[in-house]
Structures are given as C-alpha cells and as structure tokens.
C-alpha cells in the first residue's frame, strides 16, 4: 500500500508542476510492477547505487 501512496503523491506533484501542458496524468500499470523500470517522470531508477547493495 505504501508504494501506491508514494506513486499517487509523486504523480500529483508532476501534474501540479506541469498543469498548463499536462493537466491530467493517466496512471500506468507498469508504475506498480516491481519488474518494470517505468516511472511517471520517464527516468529509469539507478539500481546500481550503493544504497541498493546488501
């Protein structure tokens, strides 16, 4: 549930920042898919960061 809340908050911020050019954001199932690198900003996450290493 926390990931869904985070995605909603992030997309809301993106929509508010681009309200003149993109007043509505369609949620994509890929944003909630753990195996997908798709994000609302269109930037793939950097999974090579030290914070991700065990």
Please give the Cα distance from 42 to 16 (Å, whole number). Answer: 16
| The two structure tokens encoding residue 44 | 């793939």
- Average pLDDT value for residue range 28-54: 81
Q: Is the pLDDT of residue 47 over 80?
A: no
Locate all alpha helices (DSSP H) within the chain, ordered by sequence: 2-17
How far is C-alpha 16 from the geometric centre of its chain's CA atoms? 14
Q: Which residue has the higher pLDDT, 40 or 32?
A: 32
Q: Is the pLDDT of residue 22 over 80?
A: no
- Average pLDDT value for residue range 7-34: 80
Q: Whose CA is closest to 40, among 21, 23, 19, 26?
A: 26
Percent of the chain residues past pLDDT 90, beyond the cut: 2
- Average pLDDT value for residue range 23-42: 81
């Amino acid at each position: 549930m926390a990931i869904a809340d985070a995605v909603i908050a992030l997309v809301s911020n993106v929509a508010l920042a681009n309200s003149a050019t993109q007043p509505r954001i369609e949620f994509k199932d890929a944003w909630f898919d753990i195996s997908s690198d798709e994000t609302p900003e269109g930037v793939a996450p950097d999974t090579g960061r030290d914070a991700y290493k065990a």
